[in-house]
Amino acid sequence: MVAGMSYVGPDFDAPEPRPPRRGPLTVAIAALVPAALLGWLVYEAVADTGGRPAGAAPRTGPPAAAPSADDGKLSPSSPAPALSGSLKGKVVLVDAGHNPGNFRHTAEINRPVDIGTARKECDTTGTSTNSGYTEARFTLDVARRLRTILERQGATVKFTQDGDRAWGPCVDERARIGNAAHADAAVSVHADGAAQGDRGFHVILPASVHKGTADTRPIVGPSRDLGERIEDSFTRVTGSKPSNYVGDGTGLDVRSDLGGLNLSTVPKVFIECGNMRDSTDAARLTSGAWRQKAAQGISEGIVSFLRG
């Protein structure tokens, strides 16, 4: 809301004694089988760690909320896209809204920061489903899935936070991270906290703002293009409908009160993937298979935008 599984291979019986001489076909098969098994194991390790190779340095910071069995996993019904390199040289900023640790640092996140048009709190805790599944946990999961998909296509993906800091960052810093990375596209992932019966997703676009430290005029056009492409692909891939309570059915909303958009100098949008307080939307948001579709829908919009 704006506001290590490891594979255990089968037990193999001890090999039977073989004749001392082997034909060339037998030797070739014997060499290929271990290599194929090793390749499969490497793929599983990468997929289950959100695209990070096994053995990579562990991320630091406070432990995140205990994940469900399918948190961060690719859905069996949504096979990973093949490596294509089509986004080589492109930089994408993925901003996982809020932070699981924000609720422990209320003084820090309540500190006002300048967003150009006003001063607002540094960050918020976000919302949650009625059963307690938090927005911060949702956004991290979708962001990690999105990173995996984009990196497999050759993009460089930057995060504002990856559960590797105790709280935040503040909304102004989130914008600066994307600006410093010279991101070709930036997306902030959220989920809403509206009333029961309010359903669907919407993409938030930056208004034309030129006040104080904020000047969105150069990014309004490209941000709308990015947002419209994400709205289209998200609808198609997830089966979700545009919001019935924001955007007049278009799935698009323009705002001038969000620091993450006001202070951005790169094309950027927010996406509210659904309403966590509505039981129908909550059933989707808490499903790992659906979150994989959400990441895929967002990624296809980004790819369409970057390819032009």
DSSP E strand boundaries for the chain: 91-96, 112-114, 119-121, 156-159, 185-192, 202-206, 210-211, 214-215, 252-255, 268-275
With 90 as the cut, is the pLDDT of residue 146 above it? Answer: yes
Q: What average pLDDT does this structure show over 296-301?
A: 98
- CB-hemisphere CA count at 13 Å for 306? 27
- Cα 281 to Cα 277: distance, rounded to the nearest angstrom: 8
Q: Which of the four pLDDT bands, split at 50, 70 and 90, describes residue 301?
A: very high
115-143 average pLDDT score: 98
Domain boundaries defined on the chain: 40-307
Q: Is 134 helix (H, G, I), strand (E, B) or coil?
A: strand
Give the pair of three-digit tokens for residue 16. Answer: 């039977």
Tokens of 233: 């692909």
In which band, very low, low, confident or very high, does the pLDDT at 84 lie, cut at 50, 70 and 90? low
Output Rg (C-alpha) for the chain, integer angstroms.
Answer: 22
Active site residue 173: no
User: What pTM was estimated for this model as a whole?
Assistant: 0.76
Question: Could you report the per-residue pLDDT of 7-31, keeping only the tens digit for each?
Answer: 222 222 333 343 444 444 444 444 4
Most confident of 48-52, 66-70, 274-278: 274-278
Q: Is the pLDDT of residue 167 over 50?
A: yes
What are the b/e assignments for 170-190, b being 16+ CB within 10 Å? bbbbbbbbbbebebbbbbbbb
**Res. 148: pLDDT tops 90:** yes
Q: Which CATH superfamily is domain 40-307 in?
A: Zn-dependent exopeptidases (3.40.630.40)
Residue 1 has a pLDDT of: 77
Residue with the bigger pLDDT between 42 and 87: it is 87
Specify whether the CB–CB gap between 78 and 296 falls below 8 A: yes
Confidence bin at 147 (pLDDT 50/70/90):
very high
What is the model's pLDDT at position 85? Answer: 72
- Token pair, residue 86, equals 């089509």
> How much is the pLDDT for 43?
38
Distances (CA, A) of 42 to 35, 48, 92, 232: 11, 10, 25, 34
Please give the angle made by the CA atoms of 127, 286 and 297, to the nearest 5 degrees: 95
Q: Evaluate whether 146 touches 132 at the Cβ level (below 8 Å).
A: no
Is 50's pLDDT higher than 90? no
Is 60 exceeded by the pLDDT of residue 77? no
Structure confidence at residue 3 as a pLDDT band (50, 70, 90): low
Per-residue pLDDT band at 70 (split at 50, 70, 90): low
Q: Measured between alpha carbons, how far is 300 from 228 in angstroms, rounded to an integer?
A: 12
The closest alpha carbon to 142, from 7, 242, 276, belongs to 276
| pLDDT of res. 81 | 46
**Phi, psi torsion values for 157, nearest 5 degrees:** -110, 125
Whole-number Å distance between alpha carbons of 242 and 261: 21
Q: What is the mean pLDDT of residues 128-151?
A: 98
Task: Write down the pLDDT at residue 27.
Answer: 40
Query: For position 114, what pLDDT does the model report?
Result: 98
Query: How does the average pLDDT of the chain come out, rounded?
Result: 82
Query: Is residue 75 scored above 90 in pLDDT?
Result: no
Alpha carbon of 152 to those of 6, 83, 145, 255, 256: distances in Å? 21, 5, 11, 32, 34
Which of 135, 151, 228, 272 does the annotation list as catalytic? 272
Q: Which two tokens stand for residue 283?
A: 């059933």
Q: Does residue 253 register a pLDDT over 50? A: yes
Pairing relation of β-strands 210-211 and 214-215? antiparallel
Q: Determine which of 42-51, 75-84, 108-117, 270-279 has the lowest per-residue pLDDT on average.
A: 42-51
